[in-house]
Amino acid sequence: MAGSLNKSSEVFVLSLFFYTRSLARQGLCSSRTQFSVFYRHAVPMGTSAQEEMNKFWAKNTRLNRPMSPHISIYRWSIPMAMSITHRGTGVALSGGISVFAVAALVLPGSFPHYLDLIHSLSFGPALITLSKFALSFPVAYHTFNGIRHLVWDAGKGLKIPEVYGSGYTVIALTLLTSLALTAL
């Protein structure tokens, strides 16, 4: 038997041996068994996740570590692009509402007054249509993708083909809805 043992079977025998030892050891330490993973000793951490995250970032800043390339090298996918677009439209819409609110507080005239002012500038129909589309598109996209997010939050549609399928549906609905709103 001695001469015929090769490396892989030896490793197997050893890992089996180790495994049974850890099982036996778990039987002795009854307080550890609740973790139900095959580690010899599982010890609860004394720090919170927030503290650990801060330590991680503080260390990176202190050592002046450069960030690994990520978005500059990773291949873009439809779900990835849709996700950042969802964030982008959200930030843009929120910003737009805030600008509108500040303008309402700061500017002296009323809304119809300023509307008439813009109207008197006689922008071409193309520009008006373009502006309407530019407003409708983010609203429609963020709304439909938002519904998609809520479906995910309910735990549905998380398989990759479903993610792509729902993604294409959102894009199609967005285009149709923004065109419809522009035409209104």
Q: Can you give the binding site for other proteins, defined by CB under 8 A? A: 1-7, 10-11, 13-14, 17-18, 22, 35, 37, 39-45, 49, 54, 57-58, 61, 87, 90-91, 93-94, 97-98, 100-105, 110-112, 115, 118-119, 128, 132, 143, 146-147, 149-150, 153, 184
Query: 45 or 160: whose CB is closer to other proteins?
Result: 45
155 three-state secondary structure: coil
Q: Which two tokens stand for residue 118?
A: 């813009």
Query: 119 or 156: whose CB is closer to other proteins?
Result: 119
8 A C-beta contact, residue 38 and residue 22: yes
Q: How far apart are CA 103 and CA 97, in angstroms?
A: 10
| Least distance (Å) between residue 175 CB and other proteins | 18
Give the total residue count for the chain: 184
| Least distance (Å) between residue 159 CB and other proteins | 21
Please, what sign has the CA dihedral across residues 19, 21, 25, 28? Answer: positive
Q: How far apart are CA 26 and CA 78, in angstroms?
A: 47
Rg from Cα positions in the chain: 29
Query: 46 or 161: whose CB is closer to other proteins?
Result: 46
| Least distance (Å) between residue 90 CB and other proteins | 5
Query: 140 or 160: whose CB is closer to other proteins?
Result: 140
